[in-house]
Structure 1
């Protein structure tokens, strides 16, 4: 049975609403003001909160703000009850993260419909999605059902890129968020003396290009495909609608991209503290995760591992002598995956 917390200071209104909700089949807990409501949320852990705006002790905006700061309560669907004379404050509540508004007086069917709608949407977006291609597409399809996108056409577009083809350049305005269906992409900048240095490498199943959208800036690096690559593009407008129009959508998306961010941090830590041998081993394991061979310029691999071309060449020679890999021109062929993994233990 779903649990609903009703926070309302008017006794008659509180009793009438709670009786209606209980008759509909929900478990109800009531609170006579905002302070009590916040405390009861911690112990009752409702599936949905219905809250009056104007109350003594702590008003509805204060309740929503406090609950939004705690991970365990931040995504509980929140419906405000308010008088029509307070309509001008609607934007304030929505900006704080309210999911819906009901203006007093309202019909019983309006309240029940609002409750059922919000609970259904919340259940849809509580699903866990993997960071792989299937998980991402399932997430986008579910998000379309939840978020109001009547005026938005298809959300994603598929594009193919040849090896070493530009995806975007520094200084360009942002139009898309990118998801890698197949292949890999590097992002890089040029130093003052004209040398290229790689900032990140993104592989199949990862998002990239979304940071400038949140920071409202142009790209500050170049993105280029390392091999034949297939990307799904999500338009900037659709991406922002997905993220900002529903808190649960935003939370699910952040869970998916957190793997990308975590991987990037791990690369930086590895580059800072590991030996050349270990860095090369880690990067080869990553690049050869689903393949037995890759084609990559030695200069690019050196940049990816944060070492010089000479040091990389010596390490690859060592790996060849140990019969871990073999090379054919630009091609690196995996011979013994277990031996390559054991190189992680050598500092």
Structure 2
């Protein structure tokens, strides 16, 4: 049963709204002001929030702002309930991420239609999104249909790339966002002394180049194939439509992209603050998630020492010395050039 939170300071409107929704077999929580509404939203994680704008304690804009900043509530569909009809108020709410408006006074048909439409859109976006090219195409198609978007193409092209082939180069302008269907891609920067630093390694399910598209900038790094790959290209115009046009579609897409951002933040923290041994341990584990091959319950990492040192941001010689130490401590083994992780938990919890 779907759960809805109603936040409304007018007791009569609040109770009438809750009664209509309960008669339609929804579970309803009610809050008389924005402050209590935020507390209930964080506690119960409803499937939909219907919220008045003008309220004591905390207004509707404040409620939306606070909940949109919390990862556990940011993707909950949000409908404003308001007597205000000025365009500037509609525009402000939509710019903040509201999904819809219901203008007071309203009847039961208007309320239930808005709620059902919102749930239908969410279900459409969540349905059938398997991994891989077919799954992404399904998601994009469903998203375009739900938000009435006119995309430039119905099916995104999947292109094959060979090892060491360039996907894009620093200084060029982007025309697509890439989705990794298979294979491995490294993105890297080269400093004024010609030293290369790998900023990330991407594998199946990752998106590449989207920040440059969002910023309307040129590429600040280059992308090269580490292992034969297939990439789906999403036209820039389509990607921007999906991100910018509909709040719910935008939330779903941003959720897919979020893991890449978190990985990069963790990597920057490691480079800045950790010891050499800790950096190498974290680098091995981070890359292992991209390269994981299980054989006899062992995790193997097939990457050149140069590339691994560039991922971690240290000299190749320092990496080789640390790997030798780890091998002597039986944390890893080296077989035919591959790094075999023997003690994953010990690497993860390395103190220094």
TM-score surpassing 0.5? yes
Find the partner of 2:135 among 125, 133, 138: 138
Determine the structure 1 residue equivalent to 2:239: 239
Partner SS for 1:180:
strand
Other-structure match for 1:325: 335
Can you give the 5+ residue segments of structure 2 that lack an aligned partner in the other structure? none
1:312 Cα shift?
Answer: 7.5
When structure 1 is superposed on structure 2, of 187-196 and 96-105 the one drifting more is 187-196
Deviation at residue 181 of structure 1 after TM alignment: 1.8
CA distance in 2, matches of 1:42, 1:316: 45
Structure 1 stretches lacking a partner, 5+ long? 327-331
Once the 2 structures are TM-superposed, how far is the Cα of residue 35 of structure 1 from its aligned partner?
4.5
Larger mean CA deviation between 41-50 and 220-229 belongs to: 41-50
| 1:149 Cα deviation from its structure 2 partner | 4.2
Are the aligned partners of 1:75 and 1:247 in contact in 2 as well (CA < 8 Å)?
Answer: no
TM-score by length of 2: 0.71
Task: Write the distance in 2 (CA, Å) between the matches of 1:39 and 1:100.
Answer: 22
Contact 1:7 1:52 (8 Å CA) reproduced: yes
- Secondary structure of the 1:22 match is helix
Partners of 1:104 and 1:284 in 2: CA distance: 54
**1:168 lines up with 2:160 in the alignment:** no
Q: Counterpart of 2:213?
A: 213
Query: Counterpart in 2 of 1:289?
Result: 292
Shift of 1:22: 2.7
Deviation per CA, 1:47-88: give whole Å up to 9, x if none.
322233334554332332333334443333221233464343
1:101 CA displacement? 1.1
Describe how 1:121-270 pairs up with structure 2 within 5 A.
Answer: 121-123=121-123, 134=131, 137-138=134-135, 141-142=138-139, 144-146=141-143, 147-152=146-151, 153-154=153-154, 156-246=156-246, 249-264=249-264
The 3-state SS of whatever aligns with 1:201 is strand
Alpha-carbon spacing, 1:10–1:173, altered in 2? closer, same or farther (3 Å): same
Q: What CA deviation, in whole Å up to 9, does each residue of 1:125-169 have, x standing for no partner? A: 56897xxx8267536524542441431133632112233322222
Greater C-alpha Rg: 1
CA displacement at 1:239 relative to structure 2: 2.6
Give distance in 1, aligned partners of 2:136 and 2:195: 40
| Per-residue deviation, 1:114 | 0.9
Kept in 2, the 8 Å contact 1:48–1:76? The answer is yes
Offset from partner CA, 1:82-134 (integer Å, 9 cap, x none):
346434311111112211112334453222111112123335556897xxx82
- The residue that corresponds to 1:329 in the other structure is none
Tell me how far apart the structure 1 counterparts of residues 281 and 67 of structure 2 sit (CA, whole Å): 45
Structure 1 stretch displaced more, 91-100 or 224-233: 224-233
Q: Distance in 2 between matches of 1:269 and 1:93?
A: 35
Instruction: Measure how far apart 1:277 and its partner are.
Output: 8.7
Secondary structure in structure 2 of the residue aligned to 1:183: strand
Once the two structures are TM-superposed, the CA of residue 249 in structure 1 deviates from its matched residue by 4.5
SS of structure 2 residue aligned to 1:115: helix
Residue equivalent to 1:17: 17
- 1:164-222 C-alpha deviation (Å, 9 max, x unpaired): 32222222223222222222222233322344443333234432222223444221112
